Amino acid sequence: MTITEQRPSYRYVGTRPVRHDGLDKVVGKARYAADLVLPGMLYGHILRSPHAHARIVAIDTSAAEAMPGVRAIITGADFGDLPADDPERNMTLNLMARDKVLYEGHAVAAVAAATRRQAKDAAEAIAVTYEVLPHTLDILAAMEPGAPLLHEDIFTTGLDSEPTEPSNVANRTCYERGDIEKGFAESDIVVEGEFVTKPIHQGYIEPHACVADTGQDGKTVIWCSSQGHFRVRSQTAAMLGWDTSRIKVIPAEIGGGFGGKTTIYLEPLAVELSARSGRPVKMVMSRDEVFRATGPTPGSVIRVKLGATGDGRIIAAKAWLAYESGAFPGVWAMLGCMCVVAPYNVENFVIEGYEVVVNKPVNAAYRAPSAPMAAFATDTLVDEIAQRLDIDPIDLRLLNCPSAGDQAPYGPKWPLIGLRECLEAIRDSEHYRSEPAPGHGRGVASGFWFNIGEASSATVNLNENGTATVVTGSPDIGGSRASMALMAAEELGIDVHAIQPVVGDTEVVGFTDVTEGSRATFATGMAVVEACRDLKGQLRGRAARMWECEVDDVEWADGQATHSGGEHEPLALADITAEAGRTGGPLGATASLNARGAGPAFSVQVVDVSVDEETGRVTVERYTTAQDAGTAIHPDYVEGQMQGGVVQGIGWALNEEYIHDADGIMENPGFLDYRIPVASDLPMIETIIVEVPNPNHPYGVRGVGEVGIVPPLPALANAVYDATGSRIRELPLSPPRVLEAIMSGNGDGG
Amino acid sequence: MAQVHFSSNQRRLTGGVAQVAVEAATVRELLRKLEEMFPGIRAHLDQTSATAIAIDGDIVPDPIYEPVPPDAEVHFITPLAGG
């Protein structure tokens, strides 16, 4: 279902053609990095730390070097160190430990050998002497003075006075507005609570994989699974101290990323092993390695207090957020601070956030990073306000809903946004208008994400038969090829299947930032449109030559050139490309840009659940999500992103969590014990696409990949409360936790 | 003149000033003038990674050469990441 707010009608945009890469993926022909086999190829294996925190005293590789099939071994001693202020330094120290290991799974050495078994056996034969250090896993404990320190050079930034001692707290962020004391004093109702979430993994089905082939000329070619092959190139260059021109990265198909493949873990190691062995080297992570060594999303402790008037206006908010970053600092608390009250107009607030390092894998982005945990806290408390004031939870949100021109909590004024339209879409939905089944609980929640622009490039070439090739640098992680083809079809006026969308490598297309931040269809689509518009100008010029008239007398519409005086029969695009060799040569255009004006995204969701009071198991009975897409270029893939975000949010809310033992060893590094939702767990996720076009994009695109994961956490918690009367403030809402809450008569207040 | 707004963290370096008017053609000039007004603020912005700037609501991730319109509303914010 789509609800459109005043946008033009299009011929191709908004239709649902079969995706160009669909058949290959369905029949198994699509090539992923792990599928690649090169002549003479070796296999790499990484030796990882068995300790959460330890000093590396010595590494002896002599026994491993003598083992059969071994061609190269590398350790941290083989890599240089970047300056302390280099933004890529922590990435390089995460790729291979130097003097200390900072979490269980931290890479210590890597081996290339003729077979996988030989590489693994040799890695295990490397003798590492560790001095085990005290570790810290708990976010609050890590913040305490005297906690085991991960880094001697982290001094908390953002404090009122300069710290003199190092700390695990990397930074403090604060946003304030109005008079918080006055706001609470004038509130008729105050609700508050502490909310806890655990690290969870992005859970992509395809583990990290790459093949590197380094030649005697000192250049290397990398095939890999990533969300951005230009970043693979730059990060690999940073790790190795190479010039980027020595590195070519060819994007393989990607089997899921969700933010987890916006950074690298393998590629420089494979390149270095390849350089030392003179052979291509393939490295493929096991699922165990993916869990232990690649970025989960942060765990968090968030305390929120809200004050509201008796008629439901939220007039005061106080939020304290602590996000764990894993072994190196990130920006997660800062982002959480910016999101925590974003769906609400609040006059008075104080928001304070802390970024905390702990002895766990380094966190990576995960769909709308940091926003879901913040929403879990705020939207649970908003539900409590609605319940206590006996106001419909959607009406309460509409009452407090920001719109264009209001000041966002992080500073700037909101541009045109579609939160109100999403709230109204859920309010008016058949799901919300119907009563939950007897015994079922219902929850609603809203969520915000920024969306971003950044750099993109596109090249569009017209072929002699009137078809087109669209080359971009954005890996297709969610159907973006089809979206690029649809926008090009709309511009050029030719059938979408006359267009071949291609993801080009680092040497055939201009620089393009990572596919992240819901940016590919927005930003790279903008580059495609710009290139097509350039081409349309060229086509008019070619038609003018063919007609021997002025170019101003030629118009382009619906895929053909027409003469303004009506003196010539229209020329279809194929008529012009057929003559291109005689009118000036091939027709092609390139556009590179920094996309500006990304449109913020909002989603509002409603869920019905049943709770088995004997086991505590929560079953999702019905789920509806409304999301402002701006314009849905290909509605199938917009709906797919909306559904995917919801499903991952359901997993986060109900089951997923990293479990570490007291020594900091992960106890559930596999999908048997780390439970992600599967199709049989879920009902059809019903979607309502809301279209409030982004005025800064030629087709109104906002980007849809992330915000869908934000509301499920509070929506599920609110639904479980509605079903059981228990407010549970710690995720996941797993059967033991829900059962305990039911047995004790309540979770935690409410 | 552009109206520059400071977050709570940044106000530590502005003596509590929440907003200041600055005449600057580009972000680079703006930063130079802010440093003259509030010594140390530029290092702080770099240190806290708060180098993205919202100019009239449009978030610019790497803004040093960005033009600043005469009556722009400017906020320094965290560079955004995404998943």
Q: B42: domain CATH number? A: 3.10.20.30
Query: Do residues A566 and A609 both lie within one domain?
Result: no
Closest alpha carbon within chain A to B49: A331
Check if A329 contacts B (Cβ < 8 Å): no
Residue A335 contacts B, CB cutoff 8 Å:
yes
For residue B53, is it within any domain?
yes
Q: Is A727 found in the same domain as A617?
A: yes
Span A95-130, pLDDT tens digits? 999 999 999 999 999 999 999 999 999 999 999 999
* End-to-end CA, chain A: 35
Residue B64: per-residue pLDDT: 87
- The encoded tokens of residue A470 equal 């669209």
Domain count, chain A: 2
Residues of A with CB below 8 A from B78's CB? 173, 331, 334-335, 338, 410
Is the model's pLDDT at A749 over the cut of 50? no
Whether the Cβ atoms of residue A321 and residue A353 lie closer than 8 Å to each other: yes
d(CA A716, CA A344): 20
User: A61 in helix, strand or coil?
Assistant: coil
Are B57 and A415 within 8 A, CB to CB?
Answer: yes
User: A494: domain CATH number?
Assistant: 3.30.365.10
- Pair A295, A157: CB distance under 8 Å: no
- When pLDDT is averaged across residues A317-342 and rounded to a whole number, the result is 97
CA A709 – CA A648 distance, rounded (Å): 6
Percent of chain A with pLDDT over 70: 99
Spatial neighbors of A255 by CB under 8 A, at least 6 apart, are A32, A204, A205, A206, A225
Residue A664 sits in the same domain as residue A716: yes
Res A740 pLDDT > 80:
yes
CB contact under 8 A, A412 and B57: yes
Contact B80 A335 (CB under 8 A): yes
Asked if A413 lies within 8 A of B75 by C-beta distance, the reply is no
Range of the domain at B52: 2-77
Give A39→chain B minimum CA distance, Å. 35
Instruction: Tell whether A572 and A683 lie within a shared domain.
Output: no
B9 reaches A (C-beta below 8 A): yes
> In the structure, what pLDDT confidence band is assigned to residue B45 with cuts at 50, 70 and 90?
confident
Domain that holds residue A633: 376-449+599-744
Local confidence band at A746 (pLDDT 50, 70, 90 cut-offs): low
Same domain? A517 vs A562 = yes
Is B50's pLDDT higher than 60?
no
| pLDDT for the residue numbered A24 | 95
Residue A386, in any domain of the structure? yes
Q: Which of B7, B56, B78 sits opposite A335 (nearest CB)?
A: B78
Amino acid B30: pLDDT: 94
| A171: contact with B, CB 8 A cutoff | yes
Among all chains, which residue has been given the structure tokens 């003729």? A114
Question: A324 near A360, Cβ under 8 Å?
Answer: yes
B7, B41, B64, B74, best to mutate vs chain A, most A CBs in 10 Å: B7
Residue B83 lies in a domain: no
Residues A642 and A739 grouped into a single domain? yes
User: In the predicted model, what is the mean pLDDT of chain B?
Assistant: 88
pLDDT at site A105: 98
Q: Residue A57 above 90 pLDDT?
A: yes
- Is B7's CB within 8 Å of A174's CB? yes
Residues A611 and A732 in one domain: yes
CB contact under 8 A, A158 and B48: yes
Taking an 8 Å cut-off on Cβ atoms, the answer to whether B54 and A412 are in contact is yes
Per residue in A690-732, pLDDT (tens digit) is 999 999 999 999 999 999 999 999 999 999 999 999 999 999 9
Residues A580 and A496 in one domain: yes
Out of A575, A595, A615, pick the residue that ends a domain.
Answer: A595
The answer to whether the Cβ–Cβ distance between B80 and A517 falls below 8 Å is yes
User: Of A563, A595, A627, which closes a domain?
Assistant: A595
Please tell me the distance in Å from B7's CA to the nearest CA on chain A.
6
Question: What mean pLDDT is reported for chain A?
Answer: 96
**Residue B77: which pLDDT band, with cuts at 50, 70 and 90?**
confident
Inter-chain touch B82–A368, beta carbons under 8 Å: yes
pLDDT band at A750 (very low <50, low <70, confident <90, very high): very low
Nearest to B83 among A158, A368, A696 (CB): A368
A469 touches chain B (CB under 8 A): no
Shared domain for A641 and A716, answered yes or no, is yes
* Banded pLDDT at A3 (limits 50, 70, 90): confident
Last residue of one domain, picked from the residues A551, A576, A595: A595
Q: How confident is the model at residue A680 (pLDDT cuts 50, 70, 90)?
A: very high
Quickly tell me which residue has 């879901």 as its tokens.
Answer: A372
Q: In the block, which residue shows the tokens 């690298």?
A: A264
> What is the per-residue burial (b if ≥16 Cβ within 10 Å, else e) of A236-266?
bbbbbebeeebbbbbbbbbbbbbbbbbbbbb
Closest Cα in chain B to A449: B82
| Mean pLDDT of the A198-208 span | 98
Average pLDDT, stretch A515-540? 97
**Per-residue confidence at B47, pLDDT binned at 50, 70, 90?**
low
Asked if A366 is an interface residue toward chain B (Cβ–Cβ < 8 A), one would say yes
* Counted domains in chain B: 1
pLDDT score at A304: 98
In a domain, A645, yes or no: yes
For the cut 90, the answer to whether the pLDDT of residue B8 exceeds it is no
Shared domain for A635 and A693, answered yes or no, is yes
Taking an 8 Å cut-off on Cβ atoms, the answer to whether A412 and B12 are in contact is: no
pLDDT digits (tens, 9 = 90+) for A596-643: 999 999 999 999 999 999 999 999 999 999 999 999 999 999 999 999
Would you call B8 and A174 a contact, using CB atoms and an 8 Å cutoff? Answer: yes
- Tell me which chain A residues have a C-beta less than 8 angstroms from the C-beta of B47: 157
CB A209, CB A34: distance < 8 Å:
yes
- Is position A488 within any domain? yes
H-type helices in A655-711, by residue range?
none
DSSP annotation string for A206-224: SPPEEEEEE-TTS-EEEEE
Q: Do A331 and B61 touch (CB under 8 A)?
A: no
**In chain A, what residues touch B61 (CB-CB under 8 Å)?**
452-454
Distances (CA, A) of A738 to A197, A681, A724: 15, 18, 9
Search chain A and give the residue with CA nearest B16: A160
For A198-299, list the strands marked E by DSSP: 200-201, 209-214, 220-224, 247-251, 281-284, 296-297
The minimum CA-CA distance between A515 and chain B, rounded to whole Å, is 8
Average the pLDDT over A247-273 and give the result. Answer: 97
Q: Is B52 on the interface with A (CB under 8 A)?
A: no
For A184, counting Cβ atoms within 10 Å of its Cβ (0-12 exposed, 13-18 middle, 19+ buried), the class is: middle
Does residue A355 form part of some domain?
no
Q: Residue A719: CB partners within 8 Å, gap ≥ 6?
A: A441, A442, A443, A607, A608, A609
In a domain, A1, yes or no: no
From B67's Cα to the closest Cα of chain A, the distance in A is 13
**A516·B75 Cβ contact <8 A:** no
What pLDDT does residue A6 have?
72
List CB contacts (< 8 A) between A450 and chain B: 59, 80, 82
In a domain, A86, yes or no: no
Higher pLDDT, B57 or A720: A720
Q: Are A445 and A487 contained in the same domain? A: no
Sequence-distant (≥ 6) Cβ neighbours of residue A69 within 8 angstroms: A113, A114, A115, A118, A119, A122
Specify whether A632 is located in the same domain as A738: yes
Tokens of A638: 């917009």
Q: Which residues of B touch A367 (CB under 8 A)?
A: 83
* pLDDT score recorded for residue A592: 98
- Express as a percent the part of chain A with pLDDT over 90: 96
In this predicted structure, what is the pLDDT of residue B58?
87
What is each CA distance from A391 to A387, A394, A439, A604, A730, in whole angstroms? 6, 8, 21, 17, 25
Cβ <8 Å between B49 and A172: no
Residue A747 has what pLDDT?
53
Give residue-wise pLDDT tens across range A559-571. 999 999 999 999 9
Q: B20 and chain A: CB distance < 8 Å anywhere?
A: no
Chain A: nearest CA to B53, how far in angstroms? 10
For A142, the token pair is: 């890590």
